[in-house]
Amino acid sequence: MKKTWILVGIIMLLFTSYQIATTYAKYTNEATADIEKTAGAWVIKINDNDISNSNSETTFDIDELIFPESEFVVEGKLAPASSGYFDVVIDPTGTSVAVRFDVTLDVSGLSAYDAINFTAAYRVINGEEVSANMVRTGDHTYSGVISLDDVKNGVASTMRFYIGWEEDETEEGDESDTQLGNIKDVTTKLPVNVVISQYSGETLEEYQ
């Protein structure tokens, strides 16, 4: 009889151990599934350069501007009262979360050219320049959100920034104008910093 109770005890112990092991395995699997579900894929390209593994931040110098066609200005040149622009294109294809971007221009290098300044920033949507959907969050920082729907549909977002030559009709202004050559001499002094982060619903506060 005593041996029978010992055998029953062993069976009960084995059964209990099995239940604990099964419950732990189920818990572990569910926890892993939750982690995989919440840790979204993160793939970001800025102007075709992959920055996914660089803390999602990059800084580069603008060395080329795009100039609207004009019959009064030589191609590739910036003239008084004219402007050129550059684009920052953010491609989140392969990402699975909404994305926030913060683009900061370092315009300090333009101070040597009194007539040339940063003049405007737009977001390009369906080929049209719009001032909506982008917020000025710093002195020269512009921020916005790429929605989850746009991310899923592989829609790249384009930010457009204009550099303009303000015409000064005074004699001093004319002398200054004649000293300015190709715009490339200026744009090499314009670093651009882009920070990309996961958007979590926070409000983009406008800079005052």
The whole-number pLDDT of residue 109 equals 76
More confident residue, 14 or 67: 67
Half-sphere exposure (Cβ direction) of 202: Cα atoms closer than 13 Å: 14
The whole-number pLDDT of residue 82 equals 72
pLDDT digits (tens, 9 = 90+) for 17-32: 545 444 433 333 333 3
Does residue 14 sit within a domain? yes
Does residue 56 sit within a domain? yes
Residues 166 and 121 both lie in one domain: yes
Residues 139 and 90 both lie in one domain: yes
Does residue 29 sit within a domain? yes
The answer to whether 162 and 121 have CB atoms below 8 angstroms apart is: yes
pLDDT digits (tens, 9 = 90+) for 34-88: 323 334 578 889 988 888 876 788 888 886 778 776 555 555 555 666 778 899 9
Residues 114 and 146 both lie in one domain: yes
Residues 2 and 64 both lie in one domain: no
Residues 68 and 88 both lie in one domain: yes
Residues 119 and 100 both lie in one domain: yes
Range of the domain at 27: 1-39
Residue 34 CA, chain-centre distance (Å), reads 27
Using CA atoms in the order 157, 132, 104, 144, what is the torsion angle rounded to 10 degrees? -60
Tokens, residue 126: 């369906």
Does residue 154 sit within a domain? yes
pTM of the complete model: 0.69
Q: Provide the number of structural domains found in the chain.
A: 2
Does residue 204 sit within a domain? no
pLDDT digits (tens, 9 = 90+) for 135-144: 999 999 999 9
Residues 28 and 103 both lie in one domain: no
Does residue 4 sit within a domain? yes
The whole-number pLDDT of residue 42 equals 82
**Taking 80 as the threshold, does the pLDDT of residue 2 lie above it?**
no
Residues 152 and 114 both lie in one domain: yes
Does residue 102 sit within a domain? yes
More confident residue, 16 or 145: 145
pLDDT digits (tens, 9 = 90+) for 166-191: 766 554 444 444 444 444 444 446 88
Does residue 207 sit within a domain? no
Residues 35 and 86 both lie in one domain: no
The answer to whether 163 and 78 have CB atoms below 8 angstroms apart is: yes
Residues 31 and 52 both lie in one domain: no
Tokens, residue 142: 């512009």
Residues 5 and 91 both lie in one domain: no
pLDDT digits (tens, 9 = 90+) for 83-136: 788 999 999 988 999 999 999 998 887 755 667 788 899 999 988 999 888 999
Helix (H) or strand (E) holding 4: helix 2-38
Q: How far apart are CA 81 and CA 166, in angstroms?
A: 5
The whole-number pLDDT of residue 76 equals 53
The whole-number pLDDT of residue 24 equals 36
